[in-house]
Structure formats: structure tokens, C-alpha cells
Structure 1
Amino acid sequence: MKDSQYLDVKLKLRDTESIVLTPGYLIGCILNSLESIFGEIGGKTSLDIVKFSAAERRLILRVPQEFVERARIAVTLIGHYQEVPCHFQVLNASKNQLDFDSKNDENVVRL
């Protein structure tokens, strides 16, 4: 996707035992936040998770350049994931594809 930015996002949860952490649930949570903050988002938004690590609770999002500011706002304002208090932290943003600084690559899923 040209004219995109990549966001390295970490999910911090109060209780990690009672949740199911999957790319599908994460993208749904982000899209719900976008819709609740900015209204109907329709087909204008194409967020992609290009890398996901359940063990580290991190993901790399690919976001269209014109939508980066809204995506960052929506991600950082999420307060619950599957009804568990949480917050998302954007660790890094870049026009070049980002990667995790993981020593344990077996826990990283490339999508």
C-alpha cells in the first residue's frame, strides 16, 4: 500500500488471563473506536495488521497516510479490550515497515 504509515502498537491490560488476543479481535476493537470517535467510517478505512505477537501483546498496523492521525487518536483512546480495562500505546510510527525488536521470534505471527 503506497502512501502508508506503520504504527507499532502495544496493548497493556489489567488482566491478561481473561482475554482472547487475536488479530481479528484487535482490528475490531480499533475499528469500533474509530467509529465511536469519528462517526461512520465506511469503506474509507483500510487498516491492516501486518505483524502480530500475542506473547508481547504488540501489532504493526499499516494505515493510509491521510488517515494516520485519526487512527492514532482512536487507538490511544481505547479503554477496554473484551471488557478488561486497558490502554494501547503507539511505540513507533514510520513510513517504512516496522519490525518488533523481539528475541523470541517463534511468538511473532506475520500476517
Structure 2
Amino acid sequence: MTDSQYLDVKLKLRDTESVVLTPGYLSGCILNSLDNLFGEIGGRTSLDIVKFSAADRRLILRVPQEFVERARIAVTLIGHYQEVPCHFQVLKTSNKQLDFDDVGL
């Protein structure tokens, strides 16, 4: 995918034991936030999870350049994941593919 940005995102949950963390659920949560904030944009954009770690609660998203700001806003405004209070933190954004080792946290 050309003209894409990569976002390294960490999910912080109040209760980690009561959720099922999968790429499909995470993608749906982010697309739902995009749809709620910006209308039909969530259905028109391709948002790919290119790397995922359930243990670290991190994911690398690939987003088309024209939707980066909206995706970043939608991700950071999510307040619940599977009805558990949470917040998503964008650790890094890059036009080159990221890896979890790229951010020393």
C-alpha cells in the first residue's frame, strides 16, 4: 500500500482479565470509532493491523495517508473496549513500517 502511515498503538485497560484481545475486535473497535466520529469514513478506508501483540496490548496500524489524522483522533478518543474502560495511546507515527522494537518504552 503506497502513501500510507504506520501507527504504533498501545491499549491500556482498567481490567485486562475480562476482555478478549484479537486483531478483529480491535479493528472493529477502531472502525466503529471512526464511524461514530466522522460518519461513513470508517467503511471507506482500509485500516490494516500489520502487527499485533496481545501480551503487550500493542498493534501497528497501516492507514492511508489521507485518513491518518482522523484515524489518530478516532483511536485516542476510544474510551471502552468490550465495555471495559480503556484508552489507546499512539506511541509513534511513521511513513515507514514500524516494529514494536522501534519504541523503547
Number of the residue aligned with 2:45: 45
Q: In structure 2, the residue corresponding to 1:17 is in which secondary structure?
A: helix
Inter-partner Cα distance in structure 1 for 2:61 and 2:35: 17
Inter-partner Cα distance in structure 1 for 2:42 and 2:83: 25
Inter-partner Cα distance in structure 1 for 2:66 and 2:88: 21
Identity %: 87
Number of the residue aligned with 1:2: 2
The structure with more helix, counted as a fraction of residues: 2
Query: Could you report, residue by residue, the CA deviation over 1:5-59 in whole angstroms, capped at 9, with x for unpaired residues?
Result: 0000000000000000000000000000000000112642000000000000000
User: Unaligned stretches of 5+ in structure 1?
Assistant: 103-111
TM (norm. structure 1) is 0.89
Distance of aligned partners of 1:51 and 1:15 in 2 relative to their CA distance in 1, 3 Å threshold: same
User: Aligned residue pairs: how many?
Assistant: 102
Alignment of 1:74-89 (within 5 A): 74-89=74-89
Root mean square deviation of aligned Cα = 1.2
Deviation at 1:97, TM superposition (A): 0.3
